[in-house]
Structure formats: structure tokens, C-alpha cells
Amino acid sequence: MCLVSGRGSNLQSLLNAFALPTSLAEIVGVVSNRPDAFALQRATIAQVDTVTVDHNRFPNREDFDAELASVVSEFKPDLVVLAGFMRILGHTFVDQYHNIFNIHPSLLPAFPGLDTHRRAIEAGVTHHGASVHYVTTALDAGPIIIQGRVPVLPDDNESRLAARVLDQEHRIYPTAIKWFAEGRLSIANDQVHVDGCPVQTLG
Ligand code: GRF
């Protein structure tokens, strides 16, 4: 199942990738922390159940996490996929689900946090990209599953670079979830292995 906060282009890539009844994975539900997230409309069009847990209704992070965990548990997911979910999850949530994936728009460990495209341009790096990783309570720091790399071009601005990275996001997220569904992922010493081989990071 997927957690979202905004426009939902990554959610759409997953809805497209796993649309068929014969698909390896099924998106059983979509939960948003924002009632106005466009991602909710995408899910509804795809006939996937949606729930909103508005974080503004909770006095603190723990209470929000507890309600979110309770809503998510109703769906009995094998995997929780953060697809543009813009809240940091604490122990209350993360300790209940061992399999949580996130996608982050940088070649982690480079540029955790926000404004990654602007920061990449300002840093003058030649390559940038996106990473799918397991979620821990440390921000954007869990074991990396797959990355997609793009060049940073001399005349790039933030939006051109973001669009190039987003194409990679839409390619690597379905791939990571297929690997999970096929049982090809394992973790040893905090490093993800695919088919028993350690993932080489690009950051
Ligand atoms: C993506 O760039 C994702 O990597 C980041 O937030 C953005 C969400 O975009 N976590 P969308 O809602 O999937 O279109």
C-alpha cells in the first residue's frame, strides 16, 4: 500500500506498473496525510481505496503515527510504500512495519532532506538522481535498494533537473517493488542484497 502527500506522480507510476490482476503486486490502499492531495484522485480513478489521516488533527507526531499505523494495519500490507509522503515517521510507526520503502530525489547519501535539486546545482555535482531505500527513523538514511543516475547539464535549472530525475524515479520505484514481490531482496550488515549480491551505491 502507498502513503502520499501531494501530486502523486510516483503513485501513478506504481498504479500503472501493477494495474493488471496478473501483476506481481497489488496496491491495496492509499493513505494521505493531506485531504487535498491530487494523489487521492489518482487512486480513486484506479479504483483503489483511500483514507485521509490529516496530520493537522493531531497534537503531536506520536499520536499521528499511532493513528496512521492503525489505519495502515487495516489493509494488512506486505509492504508500505512512501510515494511523495512528506512526513517524518517515528518509532511509533516504523517499529510496526519492517518493510517500508521511500523514494528520495538524490543519490543518497548525498543531499538528504529538502531542496535536493537546487542543492545539487549549487554544489556543482556532475551527476544527480534518485534513490529507493528502506525506511528507518533516521531521515533518508535507510539501506539503499536501487538508484537512478542522471547528468547535471551546464544550463540546468531546478525544474529541468527535477524533471530528469523524476523520470528515473518512475523507472526505479516499480523495479524495487517487483524485486520485493519476487522475494529477491535481503539485508545483511545494513546493506541491501539483490539475488544475494550487494547493491552498489552511486552517491
Ligand atoms: C518526488 O520527487 C519524491 O522523490 C519525493 O517527493 C516527490 C513526490 O512527487 N519524495 P510525486 O508526489 O510522486 O509526484
17 part of a folded domain: yes
Q: Is residue 203 part of a domain?
A: no
Q: Which of 104, 117, 128, 170 is catalytic?
A: 104
pLDDT tens, position by position, 9-51: 999 999 999 999 899 999 999 999 999 999 999 999 999 999 9
User: Kindly report the CA angle at 187 between 165 and 68, in degrees rounded to 5?
Assistant: 70
**Atom 7, ligand 1: residue with shortest CA distance:** 84
Our CA dihedral for 126, 131, 136, 139, rounded to 10 degrees, sits at 40
The question of whether 127 is a catalytic residue gets the answer no
Report which DSSP code applies to 81. Answer: E
Q: How many residues does the chain have?
A: 203
Lookup result for grid cell 499505523: 69
CA angle 29, 35, 40 (to 5 degrees): 40
d(CA 117, CA 130): 10
What confidence score (pLDDT) does residue 81 get? 98
| 82-98: pLDDT as tens digits | 999 999 999 999 999 98
pLDDT, residue 57, reads 98
HSE, side-chain direction, 13 A CA sphere, residue 178: 15
Residue 132 CA from chain centroid, whole number:
6
Instruction: Output the CA 84–ligand 1 centroid distance in Å.
Output: 4
Quick check: is 129 in a domain? yes
Query: What's the gap in Å between 199 CA and the centre of ligand 1?
Result: 23
Q: How high is the pLDDT of residue 203? A: 76
**What's the number of domains the chain is made of?**
1
CATH number of the CATH domain containing 40: 3.40.50.170
Range of the domain at 96: 2-198
Which portions of the chain are predicted below pLDDT 50? none
Q: How far is the CA of 116 from the centre of ligand 1 (A)?
A: 11
Torsional class of 111: left (φ above 0), alpha (ψ -120 to 50), beta (otherwise): left
Angle CA 133–173–170, to nearest 5: 135
User: How many alpha carbons fall within 13 Å on the CB side of residue 97?
Assistant: 30
Q: Kindly provide the residue ranges of all beta strands, DSSP E only, lying in 53-190, ordered along the sequence.
A: 80-82, 100-104, 127-134, 144-151, 185-188
Predicted local distance difference test score (pLDDT) of residue 72? 98
Task: Classify residue 147: in a domain, yes or no.
Answer: yes
pTM tops 0.95: yes
Q: Is residue 148 part of a domain?
A: yes
